[in-house]
Chains A and B, each alone.
Chain A
């Protein structure tokens, strides 16, 4: 997709406060989160989050349950605000353009930022084929000559093509859990987003299916900026380039994964990754 919306504001390359150190040394930010606060009614769930996320990397967000990981993820494609009484303050820049600016249409934001959810959620009223092209159909693309190759290519990317190519007309919900989740990833990337958000994508899968998804995440990194929420620290260590540790709605530590796991700067991070709480 074009980047014609990016010219508005001056380059905001974060003098990423100390917390984001080591992230942008050899590249530019795809997503920058600035002074982000998120609320449900009067309850504040995120406190002044500042993060710069690089393109073509995997960024893991870890932290104990209820620390705001999912909320943080959902502020990046403006899904958070769909919940009742949910509210966001601060800025999220996608290619230097604030997606919370008053003139920005959240629908367009969500086309550029795909999302994969915790539980596989293919549309039960649609075939495998129709699930993959659901987002394209929303953009008015109905020509089979365009759609067919996209379906094939996308299903190949997620490694599902050989398994389902003969019954694309079957319902997406008839697949196994792991296949369903790969179908959902295919659905998210078929619209060629720039950023892919994943909210605990393997939480409901068995170890074998989890391994496949993790391989896929490492593959997808060549093309997209991936942000993956996980409660599984081993997973974060296995798949991510950068890791952010969230606790009680605050960003405690953020840096290259290896550094965060081997030499955490904050004692809270160390306690969490060594399993002393959470």
Chain B
């Protein structure tokens, strides 16, 4: 008996001392390698982007300082650059796009979520996803061949009566770009808002119904009411998209480097940072010219990053605070 026990013990001991902690070579290196790739590649890439942009724009940063952003003349021949026009174009197109898209987006999301019968809902959501996947050049073509002729034929003559400068508008304008943008950002707005609606507990709807609320009142006070932070996050993410959108905007904005004639010059041709970059990078000659374009790219990157990070942070915080429900 005692002998057997000893044998068993020694067997256990040998097991413990040898193999319990053993790992194959693949185990040892696989996980760290994946960590390195997974965390490393995105980090290294974003650092490289940032580094390149800063390095290339250094010349312009030191040459102009903050003057670059207040000046309006864009003069490659005199090597004198001011980018106010493009910052104006970028902010105004995105802002108008949000103003148009947000109320519509909330309406569409409400409709999709609360009123579309479940079997049709999948179809509607799929078509929204499809809309998100359409290449932006196609939005641009639609803008050129459908939207702009429509604006010139049906909107501007009427609008010109109250606002005379519009009468001579050529159609390619900041306003046209805003409308195209507002349609392009609709899918992202709607899908995030609908996701937010999904997190509204049924018990809250019932509480409101129980107080004698109509369906519309439940939607307004409970569904939209409790989703406001999500709507804010969706707006920021959509704004991030609108700020950087290039192709469709370049096709309809008119690509004019002239400074806006007034603060509300939205029916004139304009230029955004991204449309300027698309237009001029290939033909930029001279170190300062190129460096200024790089600085604009840096500005755009920082701008969209801030907006996107804010949006992501809000979404994250929401998921935590609603997690318990």
Taking Cβ atoms with an 8 Å cutoff, the residues of A that contact B are: 77, 79, 82, 84, 107-111, 114-115, 117, 119, 121, 123-126, 134-135, 138-139, 184, 187-188, 191
Query: By the criterion CB–CB under 8 Å, are A115 and B212 in contact?
Result: no
Is A188 in contact with B206, judged by CB distance below 8 angstroms? Answer: no
A82-B206, A110-B212, A121-B201 are contacts. A138–B217 as well, Cβ < 8 Å? yes
Q: Is B209 an interface residue (CB 8 A)?
A: yes
Q: Assess whether B203 is interfacial by the CB under 8 Å rule.
A: yes
| Least Cβ–Cβ distance between B274 and chain A, in angstroms | 37
- Tell me if B256 counts as interface (CB < 8 A to partner A): no
B220 to chain A, nearest CB (A): 10
Contact of A188 with B211 in the complex, beta carbons under 8 Å: yes
**CB–CB B221/A114 < 8 A:** no
Nearest Cβ distance between residue B270 and chain A, in whole angstroms?
Answer: 39
The residues of A that contact B209 with a CB separation of less than 8 Å are 79, 82, 110
Is B313 in contact with chain A by the CB < 8 A criterion?
no
Contact, CB under 8 Å: B225 / A117:
no
- Say yes or no: B211 contacts A110, CB within 8 Å: yes
Q: Is B83's beta carbon under 8 Å from chain A? A: no
Q: How would residues 205 to 224 of chain B score, 1 for a CB under 8 Å from any chain A CB and 0 otherwise?
A: 01111111110010001100
Contact A121 B213 (CB under 8 A): no
How far in angstroms is the closest Cβ of chain A from B65? 46
B71 on the A face (CB < 8 A): no
Cβ of A79 and Cβ of B221 under 8 Å apart? no
Q: How many residues of B contact A (CB 8 A)?
A: 19
- Whether B212 lies near A117 (C-beta < 8 A) is no
A117 to B228, CA, bound (A): 24
Q: In the complex the two chains form, is A107's CB within 8 Å of B212's CB? A: yes
Contact B226 A123 (CB under 8 A): yes
Chain B, Cβ-Cβ closest to A117: B203
Residue contact A121 to B212, C-beta cutoff 8 Å: no
* B204 interface contact, C-beta 8 A: yes
Cβ–Cβ contact A114 & B210, under 8 A: yes
- Chain B 63-82, CB within 8 Å of chain A: the 1/0 string? 00000000000000000000
Query: Are A77 and B207 closer than 8 Å at their CB atoms?
Result: no
Contact status B206-A79, CB under 8 Å: yes
A117-B203, A125-B228 known; A134+B210 contact, CB < 8 A: no
Given contacts A117-B203, A184-B207, contact A125 B213 (CB under 8 A): no
A114 to chain B, nearest CB (A): 7
CB distance from A230 to the nearest CB of B (A): 18
Tell me which of B207, B212, B217, B225 contacts A125 (CB under 8 A).
B225
Q: Which residues of A contact B222 (CB under 8 A)?
A: 123
Within the assembled complex, what's the spacing in Å between the Cα atoms of A121 and B208? 10
CA distance A77 to B207 in the complex (A): 12
Chain B residues engaging chain A, CB cutoff 8 angstroms: 118, 201, 203-204, 206-214, 217, 221-222, 225-226, 228
Residues of B within 8 A of A134 (CB): 208, 211, 221
Q: Which residue of B lies closest to A113 (CB)?
A: B210
Report B-chain residues with C-beta under 8 Å of the C-beta of A139: 212
Q: How far is the CA of A108 from the CA of B211 in the complex (A)?
A: 9
In the docked arrangement, what's the CA distance between A109 and B209, Å? 11
For this complex, 16 residue pairs linking A to B, each with C-beta atoms less than 8 Å apart, are A77-B210, A79-B206, A107-B214, A110-B210, A111-B212, A117-B203, A119-B203, A121-B206, A121-B207, A123-B208, A123-B221, A124-B204, A124-B226, A138-B217, A187-B211, A188-B210
Nearest-neighbor residue (CB-CB) of B211 within chain A: A135
* Inter-chain contacts of B214 with A (CB < 8 A): 107
B206:A117 contact, CB within 8 angstroms: yes
Residues of A within 8 A of B210 (CB): 77, 79, 110, 114-115, 117, 188
Identity of the chain B residue whose Cβ is nearest the Cβ of A126 in the assembled complex = B225
Q: Are A121 and B211 in contact (CB under 8 A)?
A: no
Specify which of B207, B213, B225, B228 lies most central, judged by the most chain A CB atoms within 10 Å of its CB.
Answer: B207
Question: Within the assembled complex, what's the spacing in Å between the Cα atoms of A119 and B202?
Answer: 11
Known: A77-B210, A124-B204, A139-B212. 11 other contacts (CB 8 A): A107-B213, A108-B212, A111-B212, A114-B211, A117-B206, A121-B204, A123-B221, A123-B226, A134-B208, A187-B207, A188-B211
- The 9 A-B pairs at the shortest CB distance, nearest first, are namely A111-B212, A135-B211, A115-B210, A121-B203, A110-B212, A125-B225, A125-B226, A121-B207, A107-B212
Give B227's nearest chain A residue, CB to CB.
A125
How far is A111 from B228 in the complex, measured between Cα atoms in Å? 27
Residues of A within 8 A of B206 (CB): 79, 82, 115, 117, 121
Q: B118 — which chain A residues lie within 8 A by C-beta?
A: 84
Q: Which residues of B contact A111 (CB under 8 A)?
A: 211-212
| Distance between Cα atoms of A103 and B106 in the complex (Å) | 33
Report whether A135 and B226 are in contact in the complex, using a CB–CB cutoff of 8 Å: no
Chain B proximity of A186: nearest CB distance (Å)? 12
Given A123-B221, A125-B225, residue A138 in contact with residue B207 (CB < 8 A): no
CA distance A123 to B206 in the complex (A): 11
**Cα A111 to Cα B208 with chains together (Å):** 10
Q: Is the CB of B203 within 8 A of A191?
A: no
Q: How far is the CA of A77 from the CA of B210 in the complex (A)?
A: 8
CB distance from B197 to the nearest CB of A (A): 14
Residues of B within 8 A of A82 (CB): 206, 209
- Minimum C-beta distance from B102 to chain A (A): 18
**Contact between chains at A138 and B212 (CB < 8 Å):** yes
In the complex, which residue of chain A has the Cβ closest to the Cβ of B203?
A121
- CA distance in complex: A124, B318 (Å): 12
B203, A138: Cβ atoms closer than 8 Å: no
Contact residues in A for B207 (Cβ distance below 8 Å): 115, 117, 121, 123, 184, 187
